[in-house]
Amino acid sequence: MLFQTTIVYICVAMTIVPEILDISKLLLDKFNLETESVSRLTGYDDMNYAVVGKCLSSGIAGKYVLKIVNVNDSNTENLTEAIMNVLHLLPSMEMSTPRPIATDNGKFVEHTSITGIARKVVLLSYIDGIDHKELRLNEDNFLTLCHNIGCCAGRLASQLHILSNDTRTLLPLRPNDVYMTESLHLSRDKLNIVTNLNVQNICSKIMDVIESLSAKPSFLTKTLIHHDLCLENLVFSPNVRKEYAVVGVIDFSDMTFGYSIFDAAIPIASCMYQTYFVNGLTYFPAAKLFMSGFQQHITFKPEEIDFLYYAVLARFASLRILGGYDVLHNPQTSQHEEHESSTLDYFIEELWCVGKERFDNVFRRS
């Protein structure tokens, strides 16, 4: 997989960015959609476009997102198809999730070479709202939001767990994928990206803990997980009191079959990280309020809660090591890398210093 990752960097550098006219033709040819407007959206490895257009088959006009899938996932057999199947089967919840738009022949996934490389393409429904960059957060509205994010994450985790029992929706496994938090230990060769030697040593110890999962995996639950449920992949809506509600979850491209505790640890880390930029906030209240909302919808076993400390630390370590490595080796990704290394270093050192016992006590009282 490390070799495959290298290939991804090379391919991204060589990939041609399509012209808007190419996108319009692609939509017409593959999805029978006549476009009124097309605009580029931010993305990491995928190419995303906001589209306003009318389906010529039904005559219905609407707003959509076209996703040109990254090279690695495009080359993974059945992965994108399985993700679209899960999205299609997800029941309606209080927050919206993207819905795949089928072609006239009933397929959710098409193919294109307009990037210069063979890629999969999907068309999804658009979720209206604001993104995390538009939030105006203070001590009061952010703590309320953390609870709302927890409720959203818990509802989604509960539904994905139900769907994971349906063999039609099981995703292909991603063995040795360094971007899965449970595979953090496979990034040991990238540890030198961390210049703070204390943080580097802590990350190495966290890797030891994560690596031990392969020897005793049965005490953690495996199920379908979103696996990237950070603030960047949530859509929000403000109310008259200047509070924010979660109205949508986007970017399911990292969805996989993995440990469910990480689907709580990832948004916990995201909420904790955000407190660094909001005056008057400390990270434990944000994390605790998230978990109180999450556990209204799904319950972890005591041994899973006992592992949460390492899962959160593993998320911070993964962002620090792999985020830094990606930016170093592919400068095109730097505009999408929200996590500053110094801030991540702070949280890694702080949590390690606080220790597992104090961390656990916070969540036992959630």
Per-residue pLDDT of the chain (366 residues; tens, 9 = 90+): 333 333 333 344 446 778 888 999 999 999 999 999 999 987 777 899 999 999 998 888 999 999 999 988 898 888 999 999 999 999 888 889 999 999 888 899 999 999 889 999 999 999 999 999 899 998 889 999 999 999 999 999 999 999 987 766 777 777 678 889 999 999 999 999 999 999 999 999 999 999 998 777 678 998 999 999 999 999 999 876 778 999 999 999 999 989 999 999 999 999 999 999 988 888 999 999 999 999 999 989 999 999 999 999 999 999 999 888 877 766 666 655 555 788 999 999 999 999 999 999 887 755
Say which CATH topology domain 16-125 has: Phosphorylase Kinase; domain 1 (3.30.200)
d(CA 297, CA 29): 42
**CA distances in angstroms from 336 to 74, 291, 331, listed in the order given:** 21, 27, 10
Q: Which residues of 131-146 are buried (b: 16+ CB within 10 A; e: fewer)?
A: bbeebebeeebbbebb
Instruction: Provide the CA 2 distance to its chain's centre, in angstroms.
Output: 20
Segment 22-66, tens digit of pLDDT: 999 999 999 999 999 999 987 777 899 999 999 998 888 999 999
**Is CATH 3.90.1200.10 correct for 132-364?**
yes
Structural domain boundaries in the chain: 16-125, 132-364
Would you state the structure tokens that stand for residue 239, as one six-digit string?
């109310």
